[in-house]
Structure formats: C-alpha cells, structure tokens
C-alpha cells in the first residue's frame, strides 16, 4: 500500500500509520514473549516473540518498504544484523570486502569467520579492477560500505552489483551512513542492505539496533530462518523507538546534511586543517559516483589536522559536539577513529587505510551550524595559539 507516495511521506503514511484494532496513531508495543494458541492444530500468526512479534514486524515491514525490498528484519544491533547475514555463508566460501569497512565488521570477518572456514579478501572497493581480480571460484559475497567509515570513500554500487551477478555472487551493502532517505542499494542491484539503526535511522542516541532488507527470494527465506535460529532479535520497546525515530528521518537528515556542507566548507578553508573528507565536494574522487547513486552527501565528514598532536587539545576545547563513539544523532558527535571506531583494527592496518592520529570524524546534528562553526573556531584558535607558544619556546 501507499508505495506511490514519496519517501518523505511514506515515513509517516504506511501500513502502520495507525493500529487496526484500536485506531491508535502509534504502533502498539507488544511486550509479550509468547502468544496464546486457541487451537494446537491451527496455530495463530504469532507463537513466540523470537520467531515473530507484532511490534518488530511493523518495523521490519517499514524498513522493507523504505528500502524498496520485499522483506525486512530487525536485529539487536547493527553487528547482529551483519553477523547473522554472514551466516548465509558456509565453510569454504569466500567474501570480497571493502578494506575500510566498519571496525566491528572487520573484526567479525578477520577474527571470527575464519575460525568457521569462511575466507575473505580485503580490497579497495573503489577500484573495480582490484575487485574483479579478487573474485575466486568460491566467492559468494561482495561486501560494500559506501560512503566508507571514516574516510568517506565511494564505491559504485551498481558496478559492483553487476560484477557480483556476473560471478554468481551476492552483493551486501552497509547503508548506515546514507539510510534509504539518501541511497537505496536494492534499486542499484544489491541483494541485501544492512544498517546500524543505532545511527541516523533511530537518530537520538538512545537505542542500539540493526536492520536488514532484501528483495532476493532466497535471502528472504534464509535470513528469516537465521534470525530465528541465531536469535539476536530486537526487543519490542527498541523496535518502537526505531519506528519513532524513522518518522523524522528525512527532515533530520536534510537539516544535518545542509549543516555538514557548511561546516565542511569552513574546515576546508582553515589553515590548521590539512584535509577534509566529504563526498559533497567536487574535489572528492568519488563525488560523481556518489551524486549518481545517492541524493545527498550526508551528515558525516572527517578532517585531518596538520598537527597530529593538536587533536587532543582541539577535542578538549570544543564545547558542543559530544566526544563519543557513534554517529547519526540529533546532537553532533565528534570521534577519534584511531582510538574509537577503529580501535579493533591493528595499527598497521589502520595506517594503511589513512586512519592516522590526526584524523577526526564529525557527525553533524541539528544544532545551528553557526554555533558549531563558532565552537570549532574557538577550538582551532586555541590550537593555533598553543603552537605559537611552543614555537617561541
């Protein structure tokens, strides 16, 4: 139903806009682990909440609809969604995966799946020739994250999906940074979309959640089976929080993306900043691919200070962004990838990927961008003044 409306409207007007039984204009939280069966020969739709829960189903329907998929799944975290999806693989299978993938995904692939006989090759996913060369007869999945974390590298989803299909592989896309508001990988040929809903989708730094959506008939069935078998489902309360966050996704992301562009431009012009990574800049090597496959540059940017040692005093002298792991919230979040999101990655792997000590990642929230810029200006002025003092000494 209502698929003809635009995305912005479908966030509010979908099959779950009101409860059919009571008319309540909010999805009811079904806080039940089990469901009474009227007759053991004819079980009801729900029997046990790991296998199915009406609140979770509302969220799963909604994400499927928003991603243009046929089925959605809600998991206890983004990592639960990602890890459960990797269980579609079997011993002896091989995965080709972005080398600058999320730190937790790196850990799962590198430290866990190997023990189960699942092989992997990390590649620069922006280089199609390198991707093609890495595909082996036992390759089953090409795994993309675009824009990537934290350097915002852009992978051509359509080109990689084509390459996957030609080699009988599936394409998985971690769509956390864009959300379906800005990028819909299934339409570009991907088979499975994954999310840390903890970030922009829920959007308020108050819930950890994961989502998946697919339009592939085999994945549809198998992932449902794996979700129930592995059991890392999202609880009813948290499903409700994610559903509530989703309603404002479009306007949050619009506002935050607009501010991110303003801030990225400001930082790029600052003499103490060496480099700004932001896919909205024409100078970004992936900007045209990104513009083709997405409808916005998003609200995350990274920047590198010229003086690595200044990162500490800079982050201590800004007031507004919370200094924390995570992103995609109403409040701006500044993080230090080398010690936070990518701490799970060995140092040599980190440096190889450009995640150096001078790099900071900013997820822009809903503050007035002028206030954020003033705050950054103060932080950078402090750093500049300190440098003058140390030079004078």
Ligand X SMILES: *Cc1c(COP(=O)(O)O)cnc(C)c1O
Q: Is 108 in the site for ligand X (CB under 6 A)?
A: no
Binding ligand X (rule: CB under 6 A), the pick from 65, 146, 176, 257 is 176
Q: Is 185 in the site for ligand X (CB under 6 A)?
A: no
Candidate list 56, 73, 93, 102, residue with the active-site label = 102
**Residue 62 CB, nearest approach to ligand X (Å):** 18
State the pairing for strand pair 119-123/139-145.
unpaired
Angle among Cα 292, 328, 357 to the nearest 5 degrees reads: 90
Q: Which is nearer to ligand X, 234 or 380 (CB)?
A: 234
| Active site annotation includes 102 | yes
Binding ligand X (rule: CB under 6 A), the pick from 83, 171, 196, 289 is 196
Q: Is 146 in the site for ligand X (CB under 6 A)?
A: no
Q: Is 210 in the site for ligand X (CB under 6 A)?
A: yes
**Token pair for 68:** 């243009």
Q: Is 199 in the site for ligand X (CB under 6 A)?
A: yes
Binding ligand X (rule: CB under 6 A), the pick from 35, 102, 106, 200 is 102
Candidate list 10, 199, 304, 350, residue with the active-site label = 199
State the pairing for strand pair 322-323/192-196.
unpaired
**Residue 307 CB, nearest approach to ligand X (Å):** 27
Q: Is 175 in the site for ligand X (CB under 6 A)?
A: no
Binding ligand X (rule: CB under 6 A), the pick from 174, 220, 250, 261 is 174
Candidate list 17, 19, 46, 50, residue with the active-site label = 50
**Residue 116 CB, nearest approach to ligand X (Å):** 20
Q: Is 294 in the site for ligand X (CB under 6 A)?
A: no
Q: Is the dihedral of CA 140, 146, 148, 152 positive or negative?
A: positive
Q: Are 360 and 303 in contact (CB under 8 A)?
A: yes
Count interface residues toward ligand X (CB under 6 A).
15
| Active site annotation includes 174 | yes
CB-based burial label for 272 (10 Å; 0-12, 13-18, 19+): middle
Q: Is 94 in the site for ligand X (CB under 6 A)?
A: no
Q: Which is nearer to ligand X, 157 or 273 (CB)?
A: 157
Q: Is 198 in the site for ligand X (CB under 6 A)?
A: yes
Q: Is 255 in the site for ligand X (CB under 6 A)?
A: no
**Residue 377 CB, nearest approach to ligand X (Å):** 28
Residue whose beta carbon is closest to ligand X: 78
Q: Is 30 in the site for ligand X (CB under 6 A)?
A: no
Q: Which is nearer to ligand X, 89 or 242 (CB)?
A: 242
Q: How far apart are CA 238 and CA 259, in angstroms?
A: 29
Binding ligand X (rule: CB under 6 A), the pick from 11, 79, 364, 383 is 79
| Active site annotation includes 339 | no
**Residue 362 CB, nearest approach to ligand X (Å):** 14
Q: Which is nearer to ligand X, 334 or 380 (CB)?
A: 334
Binding ligand X (rule: CB under 6 A), the pick from 93, 145, 191, 220 is 145
Report, as residue numbers or ranges, the catalytic residues.
50, 102, 174, 199
Where on the chain is the footprint of ligand X (CB under 6 A)? Answer: 77-79, 102, 104-105, 145, 149, 174, 176, 196, 198-199, 208, 210
């Amino acid at each position: 139903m209502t698929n003809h409306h635009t995305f912005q409207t479908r966030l509010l007007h979908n099959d779950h806009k009101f409860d059919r039984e009571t008319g309540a204009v909010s999805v009811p939280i079904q806080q039940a682990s089990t469901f009474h069966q009227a007759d053991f020969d004819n079980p009801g739709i729900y029997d046990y909440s790991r296998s199915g829960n009406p609140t979770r189903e509302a969220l799963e329907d909604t994400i499927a609809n928003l991603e243009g998929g046929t089925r959605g799944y809600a998991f206890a975290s983004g990592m639960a969604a990602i890890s459960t999806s990797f269980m579609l693989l079997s011993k002896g299978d091989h995965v080709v995966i972005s080398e600058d993938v999320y730190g937790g995904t790196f850990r799962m692939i590198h430290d866990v799946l190997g023990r189960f006989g699942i092989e992997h090759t990390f590649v620069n996913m922006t280089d199609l020739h390198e991707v093609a060369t890495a595909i082996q007869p036992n390759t089953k999945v090409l795994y993309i994250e675009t824009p990537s974390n934290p350097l915002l590298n852009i992978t051509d989803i359509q080109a990689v999906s084509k390459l996957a299909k030609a080699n009988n592989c599936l394409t998985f896309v971690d769509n956390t940074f864009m959300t379906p508001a800005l990028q819909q990988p299934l339409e570009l040929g991907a088979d499975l979309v994954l999310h840390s809903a903890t970030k922009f989708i829920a959007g308020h730094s108050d819930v950890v959640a994961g989502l998946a959506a697919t339009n592939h008939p085999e994945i549809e069935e198998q992932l449902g089976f794996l979700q129930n078998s592995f059991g890392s489902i999202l609880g009813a309360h948290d499903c409700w929080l994610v559903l509530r966050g989703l309603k404002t996704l479009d306007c949050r992301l619009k506002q935050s993306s607009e501010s991110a562009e303003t801030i990225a431009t400001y930082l790029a012009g600052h003499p103490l900043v060496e480099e700004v990574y932001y896919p909205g800049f024409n100078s970004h090597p992936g900007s045209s691919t990104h513009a083709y496959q997405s409808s916005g540059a998003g609200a995350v940017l990274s920047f590198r200070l010229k003086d690595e040692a200044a990162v500490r005093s800079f982050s201590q002298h800004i007031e507004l962004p919370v200094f924390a792991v995570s992103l995609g919230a109403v409040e701006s979040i500044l993080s230090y990838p080398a010690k936070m999101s990518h701490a799970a990655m060995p140092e040599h792997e980190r440096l190889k990927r450009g995640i150096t000590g001078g790099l900071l990642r900013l997820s822009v929230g809903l503050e007035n961008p002028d206030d954020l810029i003033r705050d950054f200006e103060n932080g950078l002025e402090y750093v500049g003044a300190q440098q003058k003092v140390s030079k004078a000494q």
